[in-house]
Amino acid sequence: MSETSELSLEEVNTWKVDALKLFCRKRNLKTSGAKAELVARVFAASEMGIQVQASAKELMCITESERAKLLFTPEGSKLPDPLGLKDGWIDEKDGLTSWPPIFLSDITKYLMADHPGKDIKLHERVMNEYKEGKAYRLFDSGFLKEVFYHELENMDFCFLKAKCTHSMKVGDTPHTSWICSRKNGEIISAYCTCTAGMSGSCIHVMALLFRIEAANRNGMTNPACTSKECVWNVPIGNKTVIKPSRICDMEWKASKLNKETTRPAIDSRRKLFNSHEELKPLTPKRKEEVVL
């Protein structure tokens, strides 16, 4: 049985039914019907050049191979799989100030990397998608859940991931989207567990990018000091108790690097005046000395 596209109708007519069904099955075509229908289906597939479809196992291997390519930096360094990382993720409340500065220009540059120069209207499309598109609605409507941040040790890269509820089947298991970017905001790669997630630009990934962009644009990743909690009033440890003391009992220090001097507040050789001390009258001898 020939598998080439150069099959004549006479040759196909000589095949047995099992051979016709096998030909159709390999190309995900219907295998039902009489022999005449199968012959017509096989001959049409041959004329259209329909190729043999990969099996489920082969497709899985291809998918894993393509996904593994997303875990390499432009310099060739291997990154861990975000879906396999269990520890080190920081929730949105604590990790918000560590998010990379991703803006619309970075999103456009990331999308243009796959087809540079072929779509001069892409920036306008991104703006429109941000304002009115489905990806923005997923973020704006709360379908995109909490964003988690993971910093890679000794590397200039970080991961951000979030779950996103299905737009049509809200009861199904949410998709998980992640992006990898440099700490300066350059987007390196992205992935989602949805059907179109291998492209790195599905609506769930875009919703995650729009969430990060909105946080940066609104100053949430770098809040002003007046927007922060008054941490200077927070006591550290137990309350310090300052006890009153007489000046003459204090020691005054001048602290310098590798040198420290200490001296009393009043020279100990000087007699202190005590107003409460009882005054004694002068003796006759002392009176004579005072008069002289």
17-26 helix and 35-48 helix, angle to the nearest 10 degrees: 40
Give the pTM: 0.58
Largest distance between two CA atoms of the chain: 156
The label of the residue with tokens 């087809």 reads 115
Based on the number of CB atoms within 10 Å of its own CB, is 236 exposed (0-12), middle (13-18) or buried (19 or more)? exposed
Q: Quick: pLDDT tens for 20-48.
A: 888 888 888 888 889 899 988 988 888 88
Q: Which of 281, 272, 273 is nearest to 290 (CA)?
A: 281
Banded model confidence at residue 113, pLDDT cuts 50, 70, 90: confident
Q: Is the pLDDT of residue 186 over 60?
A: yes
Number of helices (H), then strands (E), in the chain: 10, 6
Q: What is the pLDDT of residues 132-162, one digit of tens each?
A: 467 777 877 788 889 999 998 888 899 999 9
